[in-house]
């Protein structure tokens, strides 16, 4: 017993307790905030349990923010734009946290916001907090981590949350379902590039910003703006009653950035007055509740050993027209149900 070095317990780095984490976060301690987000991103069960307790205690202090989703295809200048907007916001006494959803980066952990080198000024800004995209095995998993990180950032006093995503795949829907305001960044070149953007995305946008409206591209950017303003008129009225519009901006020169921030504030005022802002957040909570249930049920079913043992032969019988799709589904559900009962 006495042979144990009494200094060991000082040398070993002690994990902070839940209340130490929560206190640190509420005081705006960004080391604590960072470490807590690392717990959220961890796959270890002990870390997950710790993270859930921290989140639960932070929840009553969260929510006092505007959450801005920003999307756009690679090359549109998202990082430069977020840096420009972030600097503009922090100059106006706001604290900004930048998070990201990028399921495609699961291999190349953190391909967007990766090394912060693309947001040099903002990452050195004491009123800003930048967190690279978490790695994850599924969009659902990554979305969950980002949504939980938002809670901690808000509890730490960040009143402007920016969630960045690349404009491909399903990730915009996830970002749209966790933000108040959705900004679509596009390049000058009227219309053509809409082909590259998935159709549903334009309908989600509260604002289209045509970036790189500088130098030779200014005229093209203005034409694009006019085109998108026309196109936006064709869309059905948004549930928020907000009329989306298109603007030009230059993240490089800073042109248009203050207009965009003004518009985000107008939007907040408008949707808080008509209650959409609050109702939408409730609907988003309901959406994630339902989504998480569906996803868990899906996993329970498809990861069930009896189901997966039977699945391919039943699927084959369905595809070859020996049994109907409905009969096949019934047979698999019966296997799932029986398996549960016999346990």
Residues 36-65, mask of contacts with a copy of itself (x by CB under 8 A): ----------------x--xx--xx-xx--
Output the DSSP codes for 21-60.
Answer: HHHHHHTT-HHHHHHHHHHHH---HHHHHHHHHHHHHHGG
Q: Could you say which of 91, 239, 266, 315 contacts a copy of itself (CB under 8 A)?
A: 315
Regarding 166 and contact with a copy of itself (CB under 8 A), the answer is no
Residue 130 is classified by DSSP as E
Q: Could you say which of 91, 296, 308, 309 contacts a copy of itself (CB under 8 A)?
A: 296
Regarding 253 and contact with a copy of itself (CB under 8 A), the answer is no
Backbone torsion region of residue 246, taken as left when φ is above 0, otherwise alpha when ψ lies between -120 and 50, otherwise beta: beta
Q: Could you say which of 46, 120, 297, 309 contacts a copy of itself (CB under 8 A)?
A: 297
Q: Could you say which of 46, 120, 300, 309 contacts a copy of itself (CB under 8 A)?
A: 300
Would you call 230 helix, strand, or coil by DSSP?
A: helix
| Between 20 and 291, CB nearer to a copy of itself | 291
Regarding 282 and contact with a copy of itself (CB under 8 A), the answer is yes
| Between 226 and 255, CB nearer to a copy of itself | 226
| Between 92 and 298, CB nearer to a copy of itself | 298
| Between 63 and 74, CB nearer to a copy of itself | 63
Report d(CA 87, CA 82) in Å as an integer. 8
Regarding 147 and contact with a copy of itself (CB under 8 A), the answer is yes
Count other C-beta atoms under 10 Å from residue 6's C-beta.
Answer: 7
Is residue 81 within 8 Å of residue 214, measured between CB atoms? no
Regarding 312 and contact with a copy of itself (CB under 8 A), the answer is no
Q: Could you say which of 6, 75, 215, 236 contacts a copy of itself (CB under 8 A)?
A: 236
Rg (CA), the chain: 24
Instruction: Label residue 123 exposed, middle or buried (CB < 10 Å: 0-12, 13-18, 19+).
Output: middle
Q: In whole angstroms, how close is the CB of 37 to a copy of itself at the nearest point?
A: 14
Interface with a copy of itself by CB under 8 A: which range of 10-18, 26-34, 205-213, 322-330?
322-330
Is residue 224 within 8 Å of residue 190, measured between CB atoms? yes
Number of residues that bind a copy of itself (CB under 8 A): 50
Regarding 272 and contact with a copy of itself (CB under 8 A), the answer is no
Is residue 152 within 8 Å of residue 55, measured between CB atoms? yes
Interface with a copy of itself by CB under 8 A: which range of 155-163, 205-213, 222-230, 332-340?
332-340
In which residue are the tokens 């948004």 written?
238
Q: In whole angstroms, how close is the CB of 225 to a copy of itself at the nearest point?
A: 19
Is residue 168 within 8 Å of residue 186, measured between CB atoms? no
The C-alpha angle 105, 110, 111, rounded to 5 degrees, equals 65
Instruction: Give the 3-state secondary structure percentages of the chain, helix then strand then coil, rounded to 5.
Output: 55, 10, 30
Give me the phi and psi of 117, to 5 degrees please. -70, -20
| Positions in the binding site for a copy of itself (CB under 8 A) | 52, 55-56, 59-60, 62-63, 144, 147-148, 151, 195, 199, 203, 234, 236, 282, 285-289, 291-294, 296-298, 300-301, 315, 318-319, 321-330, 332-333, 337, 340-341, 343
């Amino acid at each position: 017993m006495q042979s144990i070095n009494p200094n060991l317990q000082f040398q070993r780095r002690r994990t902070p307790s839940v209340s130490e984490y929560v206190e640190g976060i509420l005081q705006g301690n960004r080391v604590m905030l960072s470490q807590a987000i690392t717990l959220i991103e961890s796959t270890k069960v002990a870390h997950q349990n710790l993270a859930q307790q921290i989140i639960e205690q932070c929840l009553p202090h969260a929510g006092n923010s505007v959450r801005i989703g920003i999307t756009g295809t690679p090359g549109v200048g998202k990082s430069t734009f977020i840096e420009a907007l972030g600097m503009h916001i922090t100059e106006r006494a706001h604290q900004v946290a930048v998070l990201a959803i990028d399921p495609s980066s699961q291999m190349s952990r953190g391909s967007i916001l990766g090394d912060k080198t693309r947001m040099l000024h903002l990452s050195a800004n004491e009123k800003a907090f930048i967190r690279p995209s978490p790695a994850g095995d599924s969009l659902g998993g990554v979305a969950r981590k980002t949504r939980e990180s938002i809670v901690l950032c808000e509890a730490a006093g960040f009143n402007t949350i920016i969630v960045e995503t690349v404009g491909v795949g399903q990730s915009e829907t996830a970002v749209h379902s966790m933000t108040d305001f959705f900004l679509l960044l596009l390049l000058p070149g009227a219309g053509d590039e809409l082909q590259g953007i998935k159709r549903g995305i334009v309908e989600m946008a509260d604002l289209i910003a045509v970036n790189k409206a500088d130098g030779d591209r200014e005229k093209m950017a203005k034409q694009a703006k006019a085109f998108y303003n026309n196109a936006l008129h064709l869309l059905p009225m948004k549930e928020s009653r907000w009329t989306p519009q298109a603007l030009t901006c230059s993240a490089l020169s800073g042109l248009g950035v203050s207009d965009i921030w003004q518009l985000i504030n107008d939007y907040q005022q408008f949707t808080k007055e008509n209650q959409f802002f609050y109702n939408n957040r409730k609907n988003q909570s309901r959406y994630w509740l339902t989504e998480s249930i569906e996803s868990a049920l899906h996993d329970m079913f498809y990861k069930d050993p009896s189901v997966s043992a039977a699945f391919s032969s039943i699927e084959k019988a369905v595809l070859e027209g020996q049994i109907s799709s409905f009969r096949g589904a019934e047979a698999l559900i019966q296997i799932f149900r029986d398996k549960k009962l016999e346990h």
